[in-house]
Structure 1
């Protein structure tokens, strides 16, 4: 890897903007990279993207200089480690509602936790061109861990979750959080809950992340302390562009 890593930028408090990828096509990732996005997240939670397809997406991401994360349920190493081996820049894990789950995610992602199997033979290790110790150091320094806060019980455990070593981002999933809280989306109650997350993240000196459906929401939440944004998806960007095109049609 060259230049400043996504993790270093997040840790430095920079505002970074990405989008979800829901289409299992490497061309989409390549285009997003050429467009200059800070990162993208392949949505294995809500889209039909398997490990073989992630391999192609990760290849396109690295070729175009786009840090690519994956979002998928669970804290098991059998899905987290293979994605990092493919060259993904990190993981986003939904529904992390307690410290134990956060710790399990970090243990699956970081070699220095002692349980992730290590081999520099995959893409992330330059197919064996990196020495073992250098590979281990680079991966642990650069891999991003985002844990999603989207359950009401998690709000009472924020300080505990944020204190977990190696967690980089408390990422709010506002739709699921509003559902868990049984409040509107959007609503003042949801906004208040998001602010609780930003406050806990600030106390722990980690970043707050948030999904927004439209780029006009970014400045509003940036002023409130959010620095990591996932805005829409490849599908919504395509839909928005196509609809805008059709508004120019002559009657």
Structure 2
């Protein structure tokens, strides 16, 4: 029996538009709730949300068998963090702040068992192998791992062509907020220079054999990014959605006092 098919990776390869959302509460209960909305993918965020190995594992468990595929964002592309997350059952990883082809190649190696990579081979202990119930997990896992790298600095954008040439990278995600900050335009993701850089980057990715990804919190930006080539498009953040709804509700009652 082989490793489970990564449907998110398969859909990217087929060129489908997949719509996602951030899951930032660091708890399985709201992540399970978000899955009922029917998003194609949910980002379990370990970079800016207070997640750890245990909380991410719990969220992977509640998403198993759901329509919403799990995308785990790590805080950094560290090989032992990657090993732990893959053993916990993550099949799709989103790695921030990738700025070179060399860095991307090292991430590919961290995601793969030897001889293609350096992933530790203790699969018998791993949830990913169903605790050795999948006897040929190690022999088949490499093909089902989806690696998404975030390019979100000027240096990274300048190296985009070289990053796109790295075999084993499945998608490139542009981070508008960090890119704007690195361009000296902190908080100005709608600035014409930032928009021009994003458009050029998404177009370049879409023209390659990689999938282009991005996050947009406004419909106008999401529509633009889609038109520019975004294929895996995140359109919301659960924490922000709850905060906005709660504040709007209280504001409406404040107006009635």
> TM (normalized to structure 2)?
0.88
**Counterpart pick for 2:83 among 81, 84, 88:** 81
Q: Are residue 209 (structure 1) and residue 224 (structure 2) matched?
A: no
Q: Are residue 199 (structure 1) and residue 203 (structure 2) matched?
A: yes
Q: Deviations over 1:71-127 (max 9, x none)?
A: 223322200121111112311111100011111111111225231112144221122
Q: Does the 8 A contact of 2:40 with 2:67 survive in 1?
A: no
Q: Aligned runs of 1:33-182 on 2, under 5 Å?
A: 33-111=35-113, 113-118=116-121, 119-132=123-136, 134-137=137-140, 139-182=141-184
Higher mean Cα deviation, 207-216 or 43-52? 207-216
Q: CA deviation at 1:241?
A: 2.8
**Counterpart pick for 1:23 among 5, 22, 25:** 25
- Which 4+ runs in 1 deviate beyond 6 A? 1-4
Q: CA deviation at 1:2?
A: 6.7
Q: CA deviation at 1:206?
A: 0.8
Q: Aligned runs of 1:212-231 on 2, under 5 Å?
A: 212-231=216-235
Q: Does the 8 A contact of 1:6 with 1:142 survive in 2?
A: no
Structure 2 residue aligned with 1:242: 246
Structure 2 Cα separation of the partners of residues 188 and 13 of structure 1: 28
In structure 2, the gaps of 5 or more residues are none
Q: Secondary structure at the match of 1:42?
A: strand
Q: Secondary structure at the match of 1:196?
A: helix
In structure 1, the gaps of 5 or more residues are none
Change (3 A) 1:4 1:83: closer
Structure 1 Cα separation of the partners of residues 142 and 219 of structure 2: 31
Structure 1 Cα separation of the partners of residues 144 and 252 of structure 2: 44
* Structure with greater helix share of residues: 1
Q: Deviations over 1:206-240 (max 9, x none)?
A: 11111111344322221111111122311012123
**Counterpart pick for 1:11 among 6, 10, 13:** 13
